[in-house]
A = this chain, B = another copy of it.
């Protein structure tokens, strides 16, 4: 229904679009949508403002593009939660992947958090069409595991929400954690150990 056009982008187009999106991700994730100006993005990208508007239709189009890109990488870890493996290992693996994403892609995590915090004004449909089916499917998978007695009884939905909450928190609230637990390396190691232990204990039948 929309831009599934080919996209025969020249070398320079690709490079400049990438720079703009990278700069915009920096800004939007730190200052939110309205807190970010085109001039900031332009300066961070090393381009002039009109030049940026040559590559994107406007501020909102940049933001939406980022959100669309985000959705894919964001769903990936959950998609890999598969019925074939050992349930406990599958879930702990998911937790590990999710925590890794918080550490390696904190900007993406904050962009998402900002968008949701503000009521998901530009993402509502995506949640409904992209996230929800996946969430429901994985809830069913977990419910099956519970029914089969392969993991301890647990509300699948709230389990997934707990995993999101705990893992994303380390990216989204980094500014707070930097004050409370200043040793960065120890923080991530401690986080992984704690979350694995916590969810293992919760899920072991």
Write the residues of chain A forming the contact surface with B, with a CB cutoff of 8 angstroms.
30-35, 110, 113-114, 116-120, 124, 127-128, 131-132, 135, 152, 154-155, 157-159, 161-162, 164-166, 168-170, 172-173, 175-177, 179-181, 190-191, 193-195, 197-198, 201-202
A159 → B minimal CB distance (Å): 7
A109 → B minimal CB distance (Å): 10
In the bound complex, do residue B155 and residue A190 qualify as a contact, i.e. CB atoms below 8 Å apart? Answer: yes
Residues of B contacting A161 with CB < 8 Å?
166, 169-170, 177, 180, 191
Q: Which residue in B135, B176, B190 is a CB contact (below 8 Å) of A158?
A: B190
In the bound complex, do residue A113 and residue B117 qualify as a contact, i.e. CB atoms below 8 Å apart? Answer: yes
In the bound complex, do residue A158 and residue B194 qualify as a contact, i.e. CB atoms below 8 Å apart? Answer: yes
A175 → B minimal CB distance (Å): 4
- Report the bound CA distance from A152 to B172 in whole Å: 28
Q: Which residue in B118, B169, B175, B202 is a CB contact (below 8 Å) of A198?
A: B202
Residue on B nearest A157 in the bound complex, by CB: B181
- Most chain B CB neighbours (cut-off 10 Å) among A117, A132, A135, A159: A117
- Report the bound CA distance from A113 to B53 in whole Å: 31
Q: Which residue in B154, B159, B172, B201 is a CB contact (below 8 Å) of A202?
A: B201
In the bound complex, do residue A127 and residue B176 qualify as a contact, i.e. CB atoms below 8 Å apart? Answer: yes
In the bound complex, do residue A119 and residue B30 qualify as a contact, i.e. CB atoms below 8 Å apart? Answer: yes
- Report the bound CA distance from A110 to B181 in whole Å: 22
Chain A contact residues: over half helix, strand or loop, or mixed?
A: helix
A143 → B minimal CB distance (Å): 14
Residue on B nearest A119 in the bound complex, by CB: B175
Ranked 4 nearest A-B pairs via Cβ: A34-B35, A165-B169, A158-B194, A120-B175
In the bound complex, do residue A118 and residue B158 qualify as a contact, i.e. CB atoms below 8 Å apart? Answer: no
Residues of B contacting A175 with CB < 8 Å?
116-120, 124
Residues of B contacting A162 with CB < 8 Å?
166, 194-195, 198
A25 → B minimal CB distance (Å): 14
